[in-house]
């Protein structure tokens, strides 16, 4: 087990402890925190994930700056956002981070 794997495992244990879930397989590494109020727990722990391809979160009361940080995680290909009221400019700004921004309804 390498250091990155240990670090990911620590973060994923936190994800589960706050009510989220994940898939971590050779072809797919996705984290979902839908239904979890990240404004209560913070989002910064997720920024340390290595190799994650998709993250799904409720926008809730997260500021655009927090979503912007998530969208810029190296290697992230998709950031799924549920709820909230993001402007077109916000979504465009988030997409500039490289990850595809997917908006879903509640």
Each residue's pLDDT tens digit, 1-45: 455 788 899 999 999 999 999 999 988 999 999 999 988 888 999
Q: What is the pLDDT of residue 60?
A: 83
What is the C-alpha separation between 71 and 5, in angstroms, rounded?
Answer: 21
pTM reported for the whole predicted model: 0.91
Q: What is the mean pLDDT of residues 82-87?
A: 88
Query: Coil, helix or strand for 3?
Result: helix
Q: pLDDT band at 62, cuts 50/70/90?
A: confident
Q: Residues 6 or more apart from 25 whose CB is under 8 A from it? A: none
Q: Residues 6 or more apart from 2 whose CB is under 8 A from it? A: none
Percent of the chain past pLDDT 70, that is, above it, reads 95
């Amino acid at each position: 087990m390498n250091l990155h794997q240990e670090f990911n495992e620590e973060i994923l244990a936190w994800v589960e402890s706050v009510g989220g879930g994940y898939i971590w397989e050779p072809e797919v590494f996705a984290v979902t925190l839908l239904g979890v109020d990240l404004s209560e727990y913070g989002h910064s722990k997720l920024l340390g994930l290595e190799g994650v391809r998709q993250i799904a979160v409720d926008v809730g009361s997260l500021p655009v700056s927090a979503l912007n940080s998530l969208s810029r995680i190296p290697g992230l290909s998709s950031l799924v956002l549920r709820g909230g009221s993001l402007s077109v400019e916000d979504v465009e700004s988030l997409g500039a981070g490289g990850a595809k921004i997917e908006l879903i309804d509640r």
